């Protein structure tokens, strides 16, 4: 299935998730690589095609355990080939 318009998904990472062990002990945050994995999984769950690379990502603020995120994503043809443009914001 192809996605032809903007989609929205909610993402929540439980406080007890093992990713927070050691990242960082005094102020745990969600690693950027996990955020990218969650975004790509949501994209694929919505029917988007699998991506093998993410050429540009900007992280503006840390995401803490228990934060609820709202993901907005849409297909794009800007640049080389097809892709996905997304924003992931804290509620």
**Smallest Cα–Cα separation from 18: which of 30, 5, 8?**
30
First to last CA, the chain: 29
Instruction: Give CA–CA dist 49/75, Å, rounded.
Output: 10
Residues classed as catalytic: 23
Token representation of residue 21: 């062990």
| DSSP three-state, residue 24 | coil
């Amino acid at each position: 299935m192809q996605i032809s318009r903007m989609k929205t998904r909610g993402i929540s990472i439980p406080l007890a998730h093992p990713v927070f062990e050691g990242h960082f002990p005094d102020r745990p945050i969600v690693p950027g690589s996990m955020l990218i994995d969650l975004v790509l999984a949501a994209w694929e769950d919505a029917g988007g095609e699998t991506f093998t690379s993410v050429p540009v990502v900007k992280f503006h603020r840390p995401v803490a355990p228990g934060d609820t995120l709202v993901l907005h994503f849409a297909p794009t043809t800007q640049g080389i080939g097809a892709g996905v443009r997304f924003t992931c914001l804290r509620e």
